[in-house]
């Protein structure tokens, strides 16, 4: 278990973790709680299951990953798992919805839907966290410090 929590004191990883958590939190809060103009659990589940045809278990998992995964990233708790969950959600969103809309987001409202550029950026933040952990000032690192299972310093 310590190997899954092990991380160095990289501030770069910390920044990636915090940015990814901060960007994902409002999306998760929309889906779970209805904050920020979202539809909450019931509305989102209805869209996932009836609108997209996803299994209810998968829809629920997406909501939980986006909300609780973002909180885990912000605190650096189980950073690798949280980042892997977010990466999986991003890949799934690209494959099921955004790939057919092209690369660019629909800033002007003239395209049929949103492209996948946002998802690539989220993946670029998530993948180093999956590989190297949450970095400095993470709960993961604190646990490893107390257990003597730290990895060497890296920028």
Tell me the pLDDT tens digit for each residue of 99-117: 888 888 887 887 788 889 9
Closest CA to 82 of 91, 95, 72: 72
The answer to whether position 104 is within a domain reads yes
Cα three-residue angle 15-131-149, rounded to 5 degrees: 90
Secondary element (H or E) of residue 105: none
pLDDT, average across residues 33-40: 98
pLDDT for residue 155: 47
The answer to whether position 85 is within a domain reads yes
The answer to whether position 42 is within a domain reads no
Secondary element (H or E) of residue 37: none
CB 145 within 8 A of CB 139: no
Q: How many domains does the chain have?
A: 1
**Neighbouring C-beta atoms of residue 18, cutoff 10 Å:** 19
The answer to whether position 43 is within a domain reads no
Tens of pLDDT, residue by residue over 47-77, are 999 999 999 999 999 999 999 999 999 999 9
The answer to whether position 154 is within a domain reads no
Measured CA to CA, the distance from residue 128 to residue 16 in angstroms comes to 8
Flag whether pLDDT at 150 surpasses 60.
no
The answer to whether position 136 is within a domain reads yes
Measured CA to CA, the distance from residue 12 to residue 48 in angstroms comes to 35
CB 9 within 8 A of CB 136: yes
Intra-chain end-to-end CA distance of the chain, in Å: 24
Measured CA to CA, the distance from residue 15 to residue 20 in angstroms comes to 8
Lowest mean pLDDT across 38-42, 98-102, 108-112, 123-127: 108-112
Token digits for 139? 């709960």
Q: Which domain holds residue 100?
A: 2-24+58-147
The answer to whether position 67 is within a domain reads yes
Flag whether pLDDT at 24 surpasses 50.
yes
Measured CA to CA, the distance from residue 30 to residue 63 in angstroms comes to 9
pLDDT for residue 108: 80
Measured CA to CA, the distance from residue 62 to residue 69 in angstroms comes to 10
Confidence of residue 149 (pLDDT cuts 50, 70, 90): low
* pTM of the predicted model over 0.75: yes
The answer to whether position 88 is within a domain reads yes
């Amino acid at each position: 278990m310590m190997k899954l929590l092990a991380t160095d004191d990289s501030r770069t990883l910390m920044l990636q973790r915090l940015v990814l958590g901060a960007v994902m939190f409002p999306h998760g809060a929309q889906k779970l709680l209805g904050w920020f103009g979202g539809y909450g659990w019931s509305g989102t589940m209805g869209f996932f299951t009836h609108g997209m045809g996803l299994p209810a278990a998968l829809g629920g998992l997406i909501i939980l990953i986006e909300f609780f995964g973002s909180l885990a990233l912000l605190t650096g708790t189980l950073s690798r798992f949280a980042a892997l969950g977010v990466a999986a959600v991003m890949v799934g969103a690209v494959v099921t919805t955004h790939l057919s809309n092209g690369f660019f987001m629909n800033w002007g409202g003239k395209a049929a839907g949103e492209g996948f550029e946002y998802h690539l950026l989220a993946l670029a933040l998530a993948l180093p966290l999956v590989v190297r952990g949450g970095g400095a000032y993470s709960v993961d690192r604190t646990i490893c410090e107390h257990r003597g299972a730290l990895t060497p310093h890296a920028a």
